[in-house]
Amino acid sequence: MATKEEVELAVKAVKAGFLTKEQLGPAMARQDILAKQGQQVPLFKVLLESKAMTPQQYQLLVQDQGGPGTKTFPGDPIPGFKIGAKLGTGGMALVYRAVDAMDGAEVALKIMKPTHMANPRFVAQFHREAELLEKFDHRHLVKGFQHGRVNGLEYFAMEIVDGPSMREIVEKNGPVTEEQALRYTIQVAEAVEYTHKQGIVHRDIKPENILVTPEDDVKLIDLGFAKPIGSQEEPEGTTSGTPQYMSPEQAQGQASIDVRSDLYSLGATLYHMVLGDVPFKGGDNMEVMAAQVLQDLQTSETKSGKISRHMHFFLEKLMAKDKEIRYQTPREAIEDMRGQWEGMKSLQFNPDSVSRPTFGAGPASGGANPPSRRFGSKPPSPPARGGSGGTSDRLKRPTQGPTSRFGRPFKKD
């Protein structure tokens, strides 16, 4: 019978495309027969003998199980860098703390998983991320230094951030204060504004990709899904990003998206910061993506007194299903948020002393899971604009309020 480790490695082989389920089943059955005959044969020996996998594929697979300094990934494989502790594991790469032998500076070294290097699209994404990070220069974007391919490995070195991700902060301490959340969100919006001016859409803004420095500033990381604005390089219907934070147009697989998609993801991230959870859930990724397209924010969360009326406004504005109703540029969001953040002492909402504003009678989603739906050639459409009590009515800026609690009122449009 296959061991737990063998099964886990076999699953990785299937995901990497080295093996099919139809090949794996007979191999496991053959291993069981041999075991009954008193022969304890490793599963992958059976697979290799049956030619279901090549020795080269097996070597790539076991390399991914370790990292620099392990038996399967020995020594320091990237010349010029002394590799230390692993910092994280992503879908396509491993990230390590490393020291540049030239000047002794600490860096984060991202090394592509060998199993992914056979896919030209993955390699192109990895190269693009490295090149963009080297090109970009912004205080709220992690900086790239160099990239290359040595010893059969793709890598790039980048600025190291000694701090937790926003997700780790929320998981450990619970929701952050609204004042902190606005400050962090403004900084990320400034990074998005910069990438937008460079003609790039990030496509994966989420709490995991926002690191908080010891100085309590943030750095946006991971441009693995970034692409030129308006690019048609991916087929219509292809989705890239994280379902819990992606915009409706991303969830629908629209080929051409712009900065407003990143602003939606920023809104979903802000939601997670102040309420401690994702805006939409589902039994699987398809249900979550359906909710991003079809479901309104839960009023039980946004109108229950857990957040201020101004925070409610920001969430509704950033996460409007209709991208024409959202903030159209990062600068618009920055100006509104900065005006609120700089003009108040506290954004904490007290429902006992201040009545909550009415944003309209949009339909509530309730607590039910969104329906499972596959997006085909006719993906679900977001709610139509206009109409009494609809989204456009809800998202008119509030023009007055008690300044002793909320600071300056929003300026009129």
Residues known to be catalytic: 204
What's the rounded Cα separation, in Å, for the pair 268 and 169? 16
Cβ of 67: how many Cβ atoms within 10 Å? 18
Interior angle at CA 44, CA 43 and CA 45, nearest 5: 90
CB 349 within 8 A of CB 308: yes
Query: The tokens 């819990």 sit on which residue?
Result: 244
Give 18-55 as a DSSP string: S--HHHHHHHHHHHHHHHHTT----HHHHHHHTTSS-H
What's the rounded Cα separation, in Å, for the pair 222 and 165? 12
List CB contacts of 210: < 8 A, sequence separation 6 or more: 165, 166, 184, 188, 218, 219, 220, 221, 269
CB 27 within 8 A of CB 47: yes
Q: Which helix (H) or strand (E) holds 197?
A: helix 178-197
Query: The tokens 């712009």 sit on which residue?
Result: 258
Query: The tokens 């909550």 sit on which residue?
Result: 356
Residue type, position 366, single letter: G
Residue type, position 175, single letter: P
The sign of the dihedral angle between the CA atoms of 285, 289, 295, 301 is positive
Query: The tokens 């304890």 sit on which residue?
Result: 40
List CB contacts of 355: < 8 A, sequence separation 6 or more: none
130-135 contacts at long range (C-beta below 8 A, 24 or more positions apart): 130/156, 132/200, 132/223, 132/226, 133/158, 133/223, 135/198
Please name which of 266, 226, 208 lies closest in space to residue 88, comparing C-alpha atoms.
Answer: 208
What's the rounded Cα separation, in Å, for the pair 69 and 82? 10
Query: The tokens 């496991």 sit on which residue?
Result: 28
